[in-house]
Structure 1
Amino acid sequence: MSYRIFANHAHVFQETVRPHATVVRLLQLMDNCGIEQAVCYAPFSGQMDTEETSCNGWLAKEIEQQDRLFGFGTLDFNKSNLKEQVRQIYELGFKGIKLHPAYQKFNILSPEAFEAYQAAEEHKLFLSFHTGIHWHRIKDYDVVLFDEIAHHFPKLGYSLEHVGGYSFFPEALAVIVNNSRVGNVYGGLTSVFTKHISRFWHLTDERLIELVAQGGAKQLIFGLDFPYNLEKETNIGLERLKNLNLSDEELELILGGNLRRVLGIE
């Protein structure tokens, strides 16, 4: 059976910054791997070749003619106008925000972060958080603390990308299951399939099966992690999912149905 794959989690960059991580290259990968649509992330502050260029404005212009791509904005936590930044992301027509607490060096329970979450909840924007080891003090993004975000913002949908990875998978699963009655916390199946690329985020088949059994297929979203994963890694991920003996209905949800639902895309 073929699936209408709608993948989350593709990082795209200016050609002058990463020549093999452009929107054009992402579309090529999608064609090569049978992916119909994808969410792509704006670069973070400091990842553009000029400070005068808006990260979110650049992405909006890059994908404005691409009906297969949907944008997520990014925030600059070095600035105090987080609510305004969230509003601008919404007004650009983006569907969500990519947050990387370790890379951006912010505490997920800080007042500034809560300000951003509140604004995102008001604008019905979906959040994708990096979770798992990433060379920053763990206390700022301890995976079990994401449960507090769900508690304080029950109408805010968000994903735990990498599902906590090798080190924090049980904590991520606990947060997903603990909020399963509300259904606003999702597991992002991104860079969890290939031990040779990202051993510290790798999940075994046993863990993937347990994730579906406990969290439910309705709470899982397939992701790419382009350009860090390319065709080889993407196809490995798709094959591993298809070999877990899941039902067609479960695979349809994980490979696109859930993401379309949470983003309101038909």
Structure 2
Amino acid sequence: MIIDFHTHIYPEHSASKTLTAVQSRAGISCFSDGTQQGLVQSMDKAGIDLSVVCSVATKPEMVNPTHQWLENIRNRRVMPFATMHPDHSAVVEEVEGLKKRGFKGFKVHPDYQGFFVDEKRVYPFYEAAQAEGMIILFHAGLDRGLPDPIHSTPERLAEVHKNFPSLRMVVAHLGGEAVFDETERYLLGRDIFMDTSFVLRVMPPGVLERFMKKHPAERLLFGSDSPWTDQSEELRFLTGLPYLRVEEKEKIAGRNAAELLGLPEPLNPAPR
């Protein structure tokens, strides 16, 4: 089973507007129409069975409506993660309830949500997620077009891991674009997961090889950042890396994610 651990989709009424805004801000291209249907079509083309969908509430009042929409789009091909906002009044209290509603994790993007990842005010949320065994997928590093400072740096993420060693952390973008040296210093080799989204074909080849060899293969997850990359090209690039063994490629492409998400084995691929 192939699992893309990092994708984005948007409601049909706003997808086109959102894609246009992000392309203008970040100077990047898109490779689907940003809708659920577009994602599934991309998955079918790439041979991907399941995608984790990441959504971010940029305002506290967006949290509940976002969860309602995410519940409506959940199916056997699309697994949405919940969102949070540090200013949402009931973020800690809702963690247990969101787990009962079928969410396996959260996506946070501190640059959009206005907090530093190691701020003490979000520690109760981390503690609650850790207690419930829920995953937190952290945006990390530069987000093109957003102003400084970077709110989720490898050093700050290492501080979170030090304080919450049992938290099921996934650090996006292999620690973050533009902070590869810092990632190597603070994150490689730690007992945290990292996904390959967006940076897989952006990183200098030698840096990517070093990362893949220094961080345990059991803690790496394939992610595309669709629609901002082509899922087919990202997966093809990963499986073509000559310095990874076949078993390591299988782990990164889906086996690790299946285990982290608690999916049953053996896994039957989705029909083509």
Amino acid aligned to 2:211: L
Query: 1:2-25: per-residue Cα shift (whole Å, max 9, x none)?
Result: xx2111111121101105222221
Q: 1:18 aligns with which of 10, 15, 18?
A: 15
Instruction: State whether structure 2 residue 114 is matched by structure 1 residue 105.
Output: yes
- Higher RCO, 1 vs 2 (CA within 8 Å, ≥6 residues apart): 2
Instruction: State whether structure 2 residue 155 is matched by structure 1 residue 144.
Output: yes
Alpha-carbon spacing, 1:101–1:261, altered in 2? closer, same or farther (3 Å): same
| Cα distance in 2 between the residues matched to 1:154 and 1:215 | 17
Aligned position for 2:247:
249
Amino acid aligned to 1:34: G
| Cα distance in 1 between the residues matched to 2:5 and 2:219 | 13
Alpha-carbon spacing, 1:174–1:159, altered in 2? closer, same or farther (3 Å): farther
Query: 1:227-252: per-residue Cα shift (whole Å, max 9, x none)?
Result: 222xxx22222222122211110001
Instruction: State whether structure 2 residue 185 is matched by structure 1 residue 187.
Output: no
* Contact 2:200-2:208 within 8 A present in 1 as well: no
Aligned position for 2:26:
none
Instruction: State whether structure 2 residue 225 is matched by structure 1 residue 225.
Output: yes
| Cα distance in 2 between the residues matched to 1:158 and 1:213 | 20
Q: 1:171 aligns with which of 167, 182, 199?
A: 182
User: Which stretch of structure 1 is more off in the superposition, 6-15 or 169-178?
Assistant: 169-178
Query: 1:149-186: per-residue Cα shift (whole Å, max 9, x none)?
Result: 1111111111211123342112223333352xxx2x11
Say what the alpha-carbon RMSD is for the aligned residues: 2.2
Aligned position for 1:197:
none
| Cα distance in 2 between the residues matched to 1:177 and 1:237 | 22
| Cα distance in 2 between the residues matched to 1:42 and 1:137 | 22
Alpha-carbon spacing, 1:31–1:136, altered in 2? closer, same or farther (3 Å): same
Amino acid aligned to 1:257: R
* Contact 1:45-1:55 within 8 A present in 2 as well: no
Q: Secondary structure at the match of 2:159?
A: helix
Amino acid aligned to 1:227: P
For normalisation by structure 1, the TM-score amounts to: 0.84
| Cα distance in 1 between the residues matched to 2:54 and 2:256 | 18
Q: Secondary structure at the match of 1:127?
A: strand
| Cα distance in 2 between the residues matched to 1:238 and 1:51 | 33
Q: 1:239 aligns with which of 209, 212, 236?
A: 236
For normalisation by structure 2, the TM-score amounts to: 0.83
Q: Secondary structure at the match of 2:225?
A: strand
User: Which stretch of structure 1 is more off in the superposition, 162-171 or 123-132?
Assistant: 162-171
Alpha-carbon spacing, 1:52–1:108, altered in 2? closer, same or farther (3 Å): closer
Q: Secondary structure at the match of 1:140?
A: coil
Structure number with the higher strand fraction is: 1
Alpha-carbon spacing, 1:60–1:81, altered in 2? closer, same or farther (3 Å): same
Structure 1: gaps (5+ residues): 195-201
Aligned position for 1:7:
4
Amino acid aligned to 1:32: K
| Cα distance in 1 between the residues matched to 2:251 and 2:48 | 14
Aligned position for 2:131:
122
What's the % identity of the aligned pairs? 27
User: Which stretch of structure 1 is more off in the superposition, 243-252 or 133-142?
Assistant: 133-142
Aligned position for 1:92:
101
| Cα distance in 2 between the residues matched to 1:51 and 1:155 | 29
Aligned position for 2:203:
203
Kindly state the Cα deviation for residue 28 of structure 1 after the two structures are TM-superposed. 1.0
